Amino acid sequence: MTKLLDKQELKVVGTRPVRPDGADKVTGKAVYGADYNLPGMLRGAILRSPHAHARILSIDTRKAEALPGVKAVATNADFPKVDMGEIDAGEAGINVDRAGQMCLAREKVFYEGQPVAAVAATSASIAAEAVRLIEVEYEVLPHVIGVEEAMREDAPVLHDDMFTEGLPETPTKPSNVVLRFESAKGDPDAALAAADVVGSGRYSTQPVHQGYIEPQACIVSVGGDGQAQIWCSSQGQFMVRSVTAAITGMNLADLRVVPLEIGGGFGGKTTVYLEPVALVLSKKSGRPVKMVLSREEVFRSTGPGPGAIVDVQIGATKDGILTGAILEMKYQVGAFPGAGCQAGVMHALGCYRIANSRIVGWDVVSNMPSTHAYRAPSAPQSEFAVECAIDDIARQLGMDPIELREKNGVKPGDPSFSGAPYGDIAFMETLAAAKEHPHYAAPLGPNQGRGIAAGWWVNHGGESTAMVSINEDGSAVVATGNPDIGGSRASMAMMAAEVLGLPIEKVRPIVADTSSIGFSMLTGGSRTTFATGRAVSEAAADVVEQLKGRAAMIWGVESDKVEWSDGQARCTDPQQDLPPLSIKDIASKTSKTGGPIAAEKSVNPGDAMQTFGVHICDSEVDPETGHVRIVRYTAVQDVGRAIHPSYVEGQAQGGAVQGIGWALNEAYMFDANGRLDNPGFLDYRMPVASDLPMIDTLLVEKPHPGHPFGVKGVGEVPIVPPLAAVANSVSAATGKRFYDLPLSPARVHAALNGAA
């Protein structure tokens, strides 16, 4: 099923039914990782490094093992040494050796909070006591946190076997610089030299955590036959299976992963931290083992999004035509290579037609947790700098900032970063919608300013499997292999209902375990409703063909004399006066017409389409304290087609709020010893509802022509524009350009009083 259905034909898609998981979540009946229990289970606990960088000289677990109630102790020595390199486990590969060291350190610790050893005991209190009895001898080493400090020649080197990739000449000594990645075209130096105006600056962002409310949690049970089951919260049960199997040396066929509800992920649950450890402990003890991270452990040991320093120069003519750009971006990726510069380089200038450009990105390791995806990974940092520079150009030229973007914005057919032409993108329509929105012309009050910023994300396709089956009463089940982190249960059920012609109440969506459905890539990259939705649509279309065939058998007519309309089979033979058959009519006779009706489809679409957003932010700055208050915010986004508009609006609002937090409050802060100073929500200040106005949303629908329901993907884009939208609004309110995030009251007050 590839024909794009016209909006007027749709009866379910585009409506706002009650979410299928809503009642259980608001009543507390939904089962999350920490809620799940098994008879006879043990509780696991982890000993973590107190040092930011140290060599492990010895680990003595004898006292812990002797403590009554302790049933197993594990260290990295319990993981087999494997030389697998990276395995395909999502949008990017996961290095097995490094992932294993993030579960349990091997020879060195690279950040404070890195796991060193683990225990399983009959109670959580005994496990915690046992952890304190483990004796570790360390040789403390010099550490480095800042990205530019880590790049210096005299910086302490984290990994003796890490040599910079992407340099013109092969390096001869190890370095903290993992990668140099460059993209260039034309002659940007000449273009900038000839430009009438240049927007430039050095911009910085700090590492920020995804801030999911539910911490990582799992239960692992290894049976007497060596087969294991894992119940956990993650963004991909197949990812958990493949990475856990690789780290522990298990066969995939011996490992079954059951996905539980997920209380937020945003890219942060696209790898494993606990599952391999719990598996080893369960195997050693012969009992199920439950492990749950505390909030402090989440902050100290799981991957935030990277901080970055971005130097930008963008030139333009006096008429507002962007002519050239040079960017250098340094990403602070943590102890092991993680989310880094490549996506930042790719996305930096993707909103604009600029004939001459050079973008250089660097990935740099340092003594903090390895970074991971955070929604549009690495794009907010680079586009923050670009959108601030674009704003500066508009101010220098006295030009409306949206009109400047309209003059230079990419359109269908323009070359993308890869060189392939953009498809049916809607950046220009999104800019026009923002300019026409009442917010853009609304008056401002004292000490208030308005900021504009755009952003985009490439979106992904990837492997997905879905099954649609018909129940005996004519209802349907839709099973997929993707955890629901943004409304995919609803969107899958709605697309199936649309194809089948059933009311949404008669379609039950489920997220299946790894032994019950074919492989699906994890939920991320704004791919699930697009890719898995295509698998659902194709499976549902197959079921419709089967239903038509069964109707033909019941009627005794040729199958080409049957059509499907409004959930019913209708005979088109003018010589037959037959009443239509409903799905229930057909399902009640399956035992006599060939058996159960079901279809499973696997897809791997490679035609995902980019989406764009434009955000308008009004802020108010208190000149006495430097406090910034967001007084109005509007997110305009190209969404392809909104399957469930309420969910799509929620994605736009949620991403905007996270980006506002990144801009105003959030940052990892380390002391002189490399210890995280704010490992909790009291000191790591995420915005809450009382901090913000209602986020207004405007959905621009320009469907993807290659998808049966026009889906493009919506989850990543909303976090990209807010950093610059907020910074540009504060600049407009104060008359000062701010280059460093977060815009804390102290930083803003200092700038207003001449200290910065």
Q: Residues 260-291: pLDDT tens digits?
A: 999 999 999 999 999 999 999 999 999 999 99
Confidence band of 347 (pLDDT split at 50, 70, 90) = very high
3-state secondary structure of 37: coil
* 83 has pLDDT over 80: no
pLDDT on residue 2? 54
Sign of CA dihedral 725, 726, 731, 734: positive
Per residue in 301-321, pLDDT tens? 999 999 999 999 999 999 999
Interval 147-176 mean pLDDT: 97
503 — phi, psi (to 5°)? -70, 150
Rounded to whole angstroms, how far apart are CA atoms 512 and 480?
A: 6
| Count of beta carbons in the 10 Å neighbourhood of residue 414 | 13
3-state secondary structure of 741: coil
Rounded to whole angstroms, how far apart are CA atoms 550 and 308?
A: 60
- Torsion from C-alpha of 99, 100, 101, 104, nearest 10 degrees: 130
Which of the residue ranges 18-22, 349-353, 445-449 would you say has the lowest mean pLDDT? Answer: 18-22
pLDDT on residue 90? 62
Per residue in 374-402, pLDDT tens? 999 999 999 999 999 999 999 999 999 99
Rounded to whole angstroms, how far apart are CA atoms 244 and 231?
A: 13
Interval 5-20 mean pLDDT: 90
Interval 550-574 mean pLDDT: 95
Between residues 37 and 3, which one has the greater pLDDT? 37
Taking a C-beta distance cutoff of 8 angstroms, is the pair 573, 555 a contact? no
pLDDT on residue 755? 66
Taking a C-beta distance cutoff of 8 angstroms, is the pair 517, 465 a contact? yes
Strand extents, DSSP E, 206-280:
217-222, 228-232, 255-259
- Of 545, 525, 643, 541, which Cα lies nearest the Cα of 601? 541
DSSP calls for 408-434: HB--TTSB-TTSSBP-S--HHHHHHHH
Strand extents, DSSP E, 653-751:
695-700
Interval 552-558 mean pLDDT: 95
Per residue in 478-498, pLDDT tens? 999 999 998 999 999 999 999
| Count of beta carbons in the 10 Å neighbourhood of residue 134 | 20
- Residue 531 structure tokens: 């890719």
The CATH classification number of 7-30+461-603 equals 3.30.365.10
β-strands 507-511, 562-565 pairing: unpaired
3-state secondary structure of 566: coil
| Domain boundaries of the chain, sorted by first residue | 7-30+461-603
Rounded to whole angstroms, how far apart are CA atoms 44 and 42?
A: 7
Taking CA atoms, 55 is separated from 116, 178, 742, in Å, by 11, 21, 34
pTM of the model: 0.97
558 — phi, psi (to 5°)? -70, 145
Q: At what angle do helices 722-734 and 745-752 cross, to 10 degrees?
A: 30
* 709 has pLDDT over 70: yes
- CA–chain centroid gap for 498, Å, is 28
* 182 has pLDDT over 70: yes
Interval 570-589 mean pLDDT: 95
Instruction: Enumerate helices (H) and strands (E) in the chain, giving the number of each.
Output: 21, 28
Confidence band of 88 (pLDDT split at 50, 70, 90) = confident
Per residue in 614-648, pLDDT tens? 999 999 999 999 999 999 999 999 999 999 999 99
Q: What is the number of alpha carbons within 13 Å of residue 742 lying toward its C-beta?
A: 24
Rounded to whole angstroms, how far apart are CA atoms 662 and 306?
A: 12
Rounded to whole angstroms, how far apart are CA atoms 592 and 298?
A: 56
pLDDT on residue 36? 97
Taking a C-beta distance cutoff of 8 angstroms, is the pair 176, 366 a contact? yes
Taking CA atoms, 5 is separated from 465, 600, 602, in Å, by 22, 22, 21
> What is the percent of the chain with per-residue pLDDT over 90, rounded to a whole number?
95
Interval 333-358 mean pLDDT: 96
Taking CA atoms, 267 is separated from 66, 89, 708, in Å, by 40, 13, 27
Interval 511-528 mean pLDDT: 96
Diameter over CA atoms, the chain = 90
Cis peptide before 115 (omega within 30 of 0): no
Rounded to whole angstroms, how far apart are CA atoms 44 and 131?
A: 10
Strand arrangement, sheet containing 108-109: 108-109, 54-60, 135-140
Question: Cα angle vertex 315, ends 312, 318, to 5°?
Answer: 150
Tell me the CA end-to-end span of the chain in Å, nearest whole number.
59
pLDDT on residue 89? 67
Average model confidence (pLDDT) for the chain? 96
- Residue 635 structure tokens: 């997110």
Confidence band of 754 (pLDDT split at 50, 70, 90) = confident
3-state secondary structure 435-503: HHCHHHHCCCCCCEEEEEEEEEECCCCCCEEEEEEECCCCCEEEEECCCCCCCHHHHHHHHHHHHHCCC
The secondary structure of residue 528, as a DSSP letter, is I
- Of 237, 254, 239, which Cα lies nearest the Cα of 99? 239
Taking CA atoms, 388 is separated from 76, 453, 613, 724, in Å, by 46, 8, 16, 6
Sign of CA dihedral 584, 588, 594, 595: positive
Interval 140-154 mean pLDDT: 98
pLDDT on residue 543? 98
Interval 197-218 mean pLDDT: 98
* 91 has pLDDT over 80: no
pLDDT on residue 481? 97
3-state secondary structure of 601: strand
* 14 has pLDDT over 90: yes
pLDDT on residue 8? 80
Which residues neighbour 22 within 8 Å (Cβ) at sequence distance 6 or greater? none
- Residue 568 structure tokens: 């019913």
